[in-house]
């Protein structure tokens, strides 16, 4: 029985799990949708939601006192990689600042939403090893 055991180990060491979580959350912020195994998606979903909530609270506190926003940005920067390289529509590669994208594009989109920023959609089994796959995506601002 798994009494008082929190989280999934994913057959990785602690450092590897931490790096995996940071990279997957950064990819979700940059691409707004990722396809991964269901276990990994279920593991990073709460972390992604907490990062968006952190950014939202930082923006609200930054309206009264800019120190609050700086503090939230520093916390986010400590929990995420600095940059990601993504490919745009024309096939060119560009470097994206993850924290800047989180605070300037993602968080304002969900300013009026109280939670539930992500959606997990099961997409079947992977042909190679029969692993359950899932798409984790950011919800539209409807």
For 12-36, write each residue's pLDDT tens digit: 999 999 999 999 999 999 999 999 9
For residue 13, count other CB atoms closer than 10 A to its CB.
Answer: 10
Whether pLDDT at 141 is above 80: no
Rounded Cα distance, 89 and 101, in Å: 18
Output the CA angle 53-72-100, nearest 5 degrees.
Answer: 85
Can you give the pLDDT at residue 51?
A: 98
Can you give the pLDDT at residue 88?
A: 87
pTM > 0.85 = yes
DSSP state of 103: I
For 89-138, write each residue's pLDDT tens digit: 899 999 999 999 999 999 999 999 999 999 999 999 999 999 999 999 99
H-helix or E-strand containing 50? helix 38-64
Indicate the pLDDT class of residue 142, thresholds 50, 70 and 90: low
For 35-57, write each residue's pLDDT tens digit: 999 999 999 999 999 999 999 99
Whether pLDDT at 140 is above 70: yes
């Amino acid at each position: 029985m798994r009494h008082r055991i929190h989280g999934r180990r994913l057959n990785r060491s602690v450092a590897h799990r931490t790096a995996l979580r940071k990279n997957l959350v950064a990819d979700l912020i940059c691409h707004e949708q990722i396809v991964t195994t269901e276990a990994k998606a279920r593991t990073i979903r709460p972390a992604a939601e907490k990062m968006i909530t952190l950014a939202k609270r930082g923006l609200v506190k930054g309206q009264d006192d800019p120190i609050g926003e700086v503090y939230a940005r520093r916390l986010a920067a400590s929990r995420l990689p600095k940059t990601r390289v993504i490919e745009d529509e024309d096939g060119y590669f560009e470097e994206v600042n993850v924290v800047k994208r989180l605070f300037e594009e993602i968080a304002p989109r969900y300013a009026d939403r109280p939670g539930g920023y992500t959606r997990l959609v099961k997409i079947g089994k992977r042909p190679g090893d029969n692993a359950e796959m899932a798409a984790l995506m950011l919800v539209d601002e409807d």
